[in-house]
Structure 1
């Protein structure tokens, strides 16, 4: 059922451009549709959309907006109703209290800056919003760290794709 998901996502980026990229990154970061990680779509989107400084800025803006808004969604869901939504005693997601405490402890151990560098790492990019919300990280700081981390991710991906295309003689 999901075997052509990456191709479909890239066709949508090809058709709708930066808007599709922003929607995709929102869906991943919000945990509403985490089935297609950004490592699959964002590099392809960079190859399709980035052709110079202006398109690079638009690409980065789409990734930052989508990721930041999606992250804020997950942060609020897990910050405001996190324990009740995750609780194994009747919560809709049924996660044990021990796992919730472990996630919160992980976040406290690595600190709030883990939101920033976490945006650069596969899997952690999306899920870091959950312990940040559970731990009650300040919203302004969470937003800032998420946006800066998303910008760094977009820049690294776009630069790597451009370098790769140039090395292959396709750039």
Structure 2
């Protein structure tokens, strides 16, 4: 079967559900590739007449907001023991250093940490649970969470969708290359975000006073 025919056979409802579920679970605090899934789905929508990019963006936003809100409730109830448990289960993402970095960001920036955290892989996972642990007022969290979710999910979907439309003729002629390009684009975007987050953490550690941890 031709790749384009196979892509056209994917039910739109399944795409919406997968995007909302993966982004929701990631926002809840489970390390999943939400950004890759969203980018790939947005590219698919530009080539799949049955997938509406507006509905896709709405599903992504709903998953982000609902997942973050559930994570907030869990963090508020579980407190710091929850972070310790997550650190044992997911040491790569919830190490003491990562938690400390995210906590400093929240204490310094407040609502802005929730808003801009939607665009940063590390804070996107931490935002909900950590805001609950730190007892941020829910109305502040919800406002920043909603605005961040709309800008991130809606903006990413729109940009990637229109990039796909512009490249539509090329993708039709080289469908296998186009499919590979979609995957590589998603992976590259995730790696770039992770690298920037890592550099930010290293820079922050280097600028800390020598006796700060004593």
Q: CA RMSD of the aligned region, Å?
A: 3.1
1:27 to 18, 25, 28: 25
TM-score (norm 1): 0.73
Structure 1 residue ranges without an equivalent (≥5): 1-10
Partner of 1:5: none
Mapping of residues 9-28 of structure 1, within 5 Å: 16-28=14-26
Closer, same or farther: CA 47–92 of 1 in aligned 2, 3 Å: closer
Task: State the partner residue of 2:39.
Answer: 43
Task: Give the structure 1 partner of residue 76 of structure 2.
Answer: 79
Residue of structure 2 equivalent to 1:149: 148
Asked if the contact 2:19–2:41 (Cα under 8 Å) also holds between the matched residues in 1, the reply is yes
SS at match of 1:113: helix
> Structure 1, residues 7-66: CA drift from partner, whole Å, max 9, x if none?
xxxx9875613122211211111123x1x32221101111223679x9232112101111
TM-score (norm 2): 0.60
Structure 2 gap segments, 5+ residues each: 1-8, 89-93, 172-214
Post-superposition Cα deviations, 1:85-141, rounded to whole Å, max 9, x if no partner, equal 234xxx564578887566433311122221112112233222222331121111122
Name the CA distance, whole Å, in 2 between partners of 1:96 and 1:44. Answer: 29
Q: Distance in 2 between matches of 1:28 and 1:14?
A: 21
| Greater relative contact order (Cα < 8 A, sep 6+) | 2
Rg: which structure is higher?
2
Greater helix fraction, Structure 1 or Structure 2: 2
2:91 is aligned to none
Q: What corresponds to 1:8 in structure 2? A: none
Residue pair 1:75, 1:130 contacting (<8 A) in 2 also: yes
Are the equivalent residues in 2 in contact too, given 1:80–1:133 (CA < 8 A)?
yes
Q: Could you tell me how far apart the structure 1 residues matched to 2:27 and 2:19 are?
A: 12
The alignment covers a number of residue pairs equal to 155
